[in-house]
Amino acid sequence: MTPSLGVIIPCHNNDRGLEWILEALTPQLRDRDEVIVVDDHSDRPPAVPHHMRRVRLASLQRGNGSGNRSGGRNEGWRTCDTDIVVFLDGDMVPCPNFIAALRHLHSEHHGAVVKPARFALSREEQARGKASCLRDVATEARWFAGRAAPSRENCTPTAHWYYAASNALSVERRYVEQIGGWDEGYHGWGEEDMDFAYRLHRTGLGFVFPPPEWLYAVHLDHDAADHWAESLERNARRFVGKFPEVYEVRLPAYQACGLAFGQQRGEPAPRVRRNRALAYSRRAPRG
């Protein structure tokens, strides 16, 4: 049976990003697919055009603002009734074959988590406007011109949970229910996605990272959130407090998410203070 997909998009004061995402996403929906936008106490509730009948708007009742993305994701997956749940961030615009590719990959790899490739549009590029940017998103040559399409046999599940940052992450709904969804003890930016991915890994799920020629999404670059570094440090302490065994695991997903590293030593940018919770080396000293 062809799996249905439910796309969960948390939203807080981001009408423009949501408009771009829905315009790219909704023409791809089929059969029982749906999109659930979860508004997290925006100053003005987001508007969903009437013609987008497969899009539903939900409101997050708990919390008091944009620091509860885990709560928004939980609200979304509990609301939908689809086979696959796709957690799409509110600043990620999907490629033209996003839904079809996910449907195929989940049909091919049961019990796997799928993480698309990630590209980015700068703020200067975004200033050209929606039409121009959506053309860029849909133009494959803009992202990987000249590359030969890889063999499908190369796309096999791995144990690399630490690459599965939540910009766009999909998994069978039953596994989300099995682990209890997202941990709402994380607030602000960072680590709730690593926690979610690690708990899926612990249930035995594999992680599929398709090449961009098959599947990608494009990040809309923006200013860092207020108190970004402080929340990252606080959340990192929570994560390694829950799972001390991950301290020795390097978390390269940070780099994919935009956390700047030095070119030579692989250290975080100066805006992030080093601490024991932010573990980037594979081996910590013993003793």
Distance (Å, rounded) from C-alpha 110 to C-alpha 95?
A: 23
- 258 located within any domain: no
Residue of higher predicted confidence among 57 and 152: 57
CB-based contact 24:134 (threshold 8 Å) = yes
- 282 located within any domain: no
129-133, 160-164, 245-249: least confident range: 245-249
Nearest of 5, 34, 20 to residue 89 by alpha carbon: 20
- 31 located within any domain: yes
Which whole number is the average pLDDT over 95-106? 95
Averaging pLDDT over each range in 105-114, 181-190, 235-244, 268-277, which range is the top one? 105-114
- 56 located within any domain: yes
- 181 located within any domain: yes
- 254 located within any domain: no
pLDDT of 191 = 86
Which whole number is the average pLDDT over 101-105? 95
Domain holding 68, by residue range, is 5-231
CATH of residue 183? 3.90.550.10
pLDDT of 247 = 57
Residue 285 has pLDDT above 60, yes or no: no
Read off φ and ψ for residue 173, nearest 5 degrees. -60, -35
3-class secondary-structure state, position 116: coil
Nearest of 222, 221, 233 to residue 187 by alpha carbon: 233
Residue 280 has pLDDT above 60, yes or no: no
Buried b / exposed e along 179-212 (16+ C-beta atoms within 10 A):
bebbbbebbbbbbbbbbbbbbbbeeebbbbbbbb
Residue 201 has pLDDT above 90, yes or no: yes
- 29 located within any domain: yes
Which whole number is the average pLDDT over 208-223? 89
Residues 6+ apart with CB under 8 A from 263: none
pLDDT of 149 = 55
> What's the whole-number average pLDDT of the chain?
80
* Rg (the chain; Cα; Å): 18
- 204 located within any domain: yes
pLDDT, one tens digit per residue, over 50-96 is 777 778 877 776 665 556 788 889 999 999 999 999 999 989 999 99
Q: What is the pTM of this model?
A: 0.83
Distance (Å, rounded) from C-alpha 84 to C-alpha 173?
A: 5
Number of domains the chain contains: 1
β-partners of residue 268 are 261
Distance (Å, rounded) from C-alpha 89 to C-alpha 7?
A: 10
